[in-house]
Amino acid sequence: MADKKDYKGIMVFAEQREGELQDVALELLGEGRKLAGKLGVELSAMLIGDKISKLADTLFEYGADTVYFVEDKNLATYNTEGYASAFETVIKEKKPEIVLIGATTIGRDLAPRVSSRITTGLTADCTQLDIDEQDKILLQTRPAFGGNVMATIICPDHRPQMSTVRPGVMDKAVPQKGKKGKLEEIKVKLSDVKAKVIDIVKEAKKKVDLPKAKVIVSGGRGLMTKEGFAMIEKLAQALGGEVGASRAAVESGFVTKPHQVGQTGVTVKPELYIACGISGAIQHLAGMQNAKTIIAINKDPGAPIFKMCDYGIIGDVFQVIPALIEELKK
């Protein structure tokens, strides 16, 4: 086992797709900056891809002291073997004590493979991170037992301590325009990459970007049918917002999976969140509880959502929502 004293600093995986940094990378830099301050260590970012070193300027502005990058034409598109090999090499060479990765489709594939290669633990889907001031170790908090409890997990014996963090949970740091740092290229041999991406076929569909939405109108099982759920779309359109949904609504076929908010969907924190016909199961609340203002519409006065909301309307969604749309039209 490597000596834990050899590991120092916090490293963030700066996920990019087609040369565009993902928001979760900037969110992790914001959180990483806070953790680095408590530990008194440097914050670094890790870029993997092809012709991506130009993204370093943005990473510096959002808090990175150092940016490491691996460039190779075989890494232009994400592939598990290539990225895992590159990331493993950088971690073994630079020895960060903490590694943070976004819990995206890429991050969820990459993180466990890297942690297995370097023989350390991994806490997945964290919603909160902190530092134990006495022992100087990472406190990794995530929902457990179906979201009914929040578990805080530590990795006392191995390094680095690794976490994946759900997009939209952490706040981006305020960028410091013109801030610079150290840029370093890491050379990696990719001879063991067996699979190559030949082509990518993208499905033509309307992009759903709930984490960026300022207004979200979500519907639940209470809408009863796909036709009933259409009211949610009209209300969201009237407010200039996005359509969200509970897991029950998605499983009932009212709307597609990208609209799902909650523990098994996306985490959001809009300015305004309107929950229509949603009872307020803990799994759903875990995904929207940080919204600045929450309005709930439900005919059941005992629905758990009313304990969470800022404003509650006890009434039939089929009467309340059309009335709201009519007022907004005026």
Flag whether 216 is in a domain.
yes
- The pLDDT score that the predictor gives to residue 203 is 63
- The answer to whether 142 touches 125, Cβ cutoff 8 Å, is yes
The 10s digit of each residue's pLDDT in 163-185 is 999 888 888 888 888 889 999 99
- The answer to whether 106 touches 18, Cβ cutoff 8 Å, is no
Flag whether 194 is in a domain.
no
Sheet holding 43-49, edge to edge: 122-126, 161-165, 98-102, 10-13, 43-49, 66-71, 182-185
What's the predicted TM-score (pTM) here?
0.77
DSSP state of 37: H
Flag whether 197 is in a domain.
no
- The answer to whether 245 touches 260, Cβ cutoff 8 Å, is yes
- The pLDDT score that the predictor gives to residue 138 is 92
As for how many domains the chain has, the answer is 2
DSSP state of 301: T
Flag whether 51 is in a domain.
yes
**CATH number, position 45:** 3.40.50.620
Same domain, 123 and 270: no
Same domain, 295 and 168: no
Q: Using CA atoms, how far apart are residues 114 and 274, in angstroms rounded to an integer?
A: 39
Give how far the C-alpha of residue 298 lies from the chain's centroid of Cα atoms, to the nearest Å. Answer: 29
Same domain, 156 and 250: no
- The pLDDT score that the predictor gives to residue 296 is 94
Same domain, 143 and 41: yes
- The pLDDT score that the predictor gives to residue 92 is 93
Same domain, 225 and 312: yes
Q: Is the peptide bond before 322 cis (omega within 30 degrees of 0)?
A: no
**CATH number, position 215:** 3.40.50.1220
- The pLDDT score that the predictor gives to residue 169 is 83
Query: Rounded to the nearest 5°, which phi and psi values hold at 76?
Result: -60, -35
Cα–Cα distances (Å) from 292 to 37, 173, 265, 272, in that order, read: 27, 18, 19, 6
Same domain, 82 and 153: yes
Give how far the C-alpha of residue 276 lies from the chain's centroid of Cα atoms, to the nearest Å. Answer: 24
Flag whether 191 is in a domain.
no
Same domain, 168 and 310: no
- The pLDDT score that the predictor gives to residue 206 is 60
Flag whether 202 is in a domain.
no
Q: Using CA atoms, how far apart are residues 302 and 294, in angstroms rounded to an integer?
A: 17
User: 120: domain range?
Assistant: 4-185
Torsion of CA 268, 269, 274, 275, to 10 degrees: 50
Cα–Cα distances (Å) from 278 to 149, 241, 275, in that order, read: 21, 18, 6
Same domain, 47 and 165: yes
Sequence-ordered alpha helix ranges (H) in the chain: 23-39, 56-61, 80-94, 105-117, 226-239, 247-251, 282-288, 305-308, 317-329
Q: Using CA atoms, how far apart are residues 177 and 156, in angstroms rounded to an integer?
A: 37
Q: Is 56 exposed, middle or buried (0-12, 13-18, 19+ CB in 10 A)?
A: buried
Q: Using CA atoms, how far apart are residues 75 and 58, in angstroms rounded to an integer?
A: 20
- The pLDDT score that the predictor gives to residue 150 is 79
Residue after which a domain boundary falls, among 125, 150, 185: 185
Flag whether 240 is in a domain.
yes
Flag whether 201 is in a domain.
no
**Could you report the average pLDDT of every consecutive run of 10 residues in the chain (330 residues)?**
81 92 93 93 94 92 93 87 91 94 93 93 90 89 72 90 90 87 87 67 68 91 88 91 92 90 87 92 86 93 91 93 88
The 10s digit of each residue's pLDDT in 201-214 is 766 556 678 888 99
The 10s digit of each residue's pLDDT in 100-110 is 999 999 999 99
Same domain, 126 and 11: yes
- The answer to whether 125 touches 100, Cβ cutoff 8 Å, is no
